[in-house]
Amino acid sequence: MAEKSSQSVGDGQAALSGLTLPSAGIHGVQQDGQSFALDFNSGGVAQPFPRSPKLQRKVAKAAQPSKVNTPGGGTSSWSSSLFMTSLRSSHIKTICIYSKENVASLLGCNCDLQEQLSRCLEELQAEKSKTEAHIQSLKKRKADLCRRTDMMKHQVHDCFENMRAVLKKDEQAIMESLDLDLKRTRTRLDQVLRNWKQHQDKVGKSISSTQRALSSSCAAEGDGKGHTESLSPKRPDASEKDIRLNEERFERLLKTLSSISKSLKAQLQRKTLLLDFSPVVMDRHTCHSHITVTSEGRALTYSGTARSALDHPLQFDKVCCALGASPVKAGTSYWEVDVRCCSAWAVGVTYASLHRKSRDKGAKLGRNRNSWCVELRNRNLWAWHNDRHVVCHGVGQTLLRKVGVWVNYDESQLFFYDADTMTVLQRFSSAITAVFDRAHHQFTEPLYPAVRFLRPSENQVWPNHLELCHFNAL
């Protein structure tokens, strides 16, 4: 019996030594009445861990030697030794079975983990491919931007070179015209100078003859009379007054060049503002019933008769005003309003909170803190805001043709221009808050383009008309 027990114990130990332990997981086992922890991550080395109280009582009870009465009256420990041997054998078998089951489960978990890692690897590979494709796209966009920028630079350079060439050619033509006029004038003056030189020679000869005649008293009177009769005084020819440079023509030329220079300067400044051009379309729902809007939404006409239309909550019912459909919320924006066919008007910007259903100051442009405008009334141009106004300077005797409006929303700046001469009619910024009784100047809401028809003069027979300029028409 002892041999069989020791043999089974040896087989169990051989099974443990030949068992391949997995690399993950911790399992508790018992051997020889002691508890161990098999840490598979540490290469299968058994580490002891605390026993449970129940197991400790069981082991202590099994460790007590059973007393067996022998024929000699003594006790024998052979039965306890046999019990311990059988206990070790059962524990080893349990360990083997338990380890095989856990190895199988761990192998299955390992397969699932490998599948998850494979899927994760595929997703990372796909993400890497997308990232590389996006980087290539960004590089291509960068190259396209550089190419387009270079192309635009060349086009701008060519335009300015063409302008320089035209100016140079015109300058050369004018210089050649001046040289030709100078040459013709000098030729005529040289001819007149030669004539007067000949006359001077004749006068000199006459003087010499007269002096010789005076030396002889006999022939002095006769000779002097003869010379006097033969020599007539020379008077300046009337054509000599016309022999001069065509100064009037060139003075007109200088005035034209000065006008062109001013216009070119204004157009260059206007060109900068046109880069911020934003097409404006009027909102029909806001138009007063006496205002008619074209299908494009850019031309407005005021008439004395009201149009038949349903009342809208956003419509002005007392003030002949209209607002744009799209507000300015950020950045810079520029637009122009043609005011040639209107005798009394107001052009400006406003918040959406402007009153619509009243005739008080809260519904009129410039008469409140929510709107800014320039206004033409009785041929006088004023700038209005917060119910205060100032005279617009820099306006000539001629009436305005177009009013330009430039808004820098982020910097809270608003400029009104004479679009033909680019003269600043009025600017609103933090620098002039005291003029309009404001403690600060900061845009707090989106700005809507706004126009208003004022009451025309009594003798006016044509209808007032305003039009928002389109870029192609500028």
Q: CA triplet 336, 163, 165: central angle to 5 degrees?
A: 170
- Residue labelled with tokens 């993950």: 24
Q: What homologous superfamily does CATH list for 277-473?
A: SPRY domain (2.60.120.920)
Q: CA triplet 253, 256, 262: central angle to 5 degrees?
A: 140
Name the percent of the chain lying above pLDDT 90. Answer: 29
What tokens were used for 304? 């004395």
Contact in structure between 123 and 115 (CB atoms under 8 Å): no
pLDDT digits (tens, 9 = 90+) for 98-137: 666 677 777 778 888 888 888 899 999 999 999 999 999 9
* pLDDT at residue 460, rounded to an integer: 66
What tokens were used for 287? 């138009």
Q: How many CA atoms lie within 13 A of 288 on its CB side?
A: 28
pLDDT-derived band of residue 204, with 50, 70 and 90 as boundaries? confident
pLDDT digits (tens, 9 = 90+) for 205-255: 888 888 888 877 555 455 444 444 456 676 766 666 666 667 777 788 888
Dihedral, CA of residue 132, residue 134, residue 139 and residue 143, to nearest 10 = 140
Dihedral, CA of residue 86, residue 91, residue 96 and residue 101, to nearest 10 = 130
* pLDDT at residue 209, rounded to an integer: 83
- Residue labelled with tokens 């001077």: 200
Residue 7: pLDDT over 80: no
What tokens were used for 137? 């796209």
Domain ranges in the chain are 2-65+78-123, 158-272, 277-473
* pLDDT at residue 461, rounded to an integer: 60
Q: How far apart are CA 156 and CA 149, in angstroms?
A: 10
pLDDT-derived band of residue 74, with 50, 70 and 90 as boundaries? very low
Contact in structure between 314 and 286 (CB atoms under 8 Å): yes
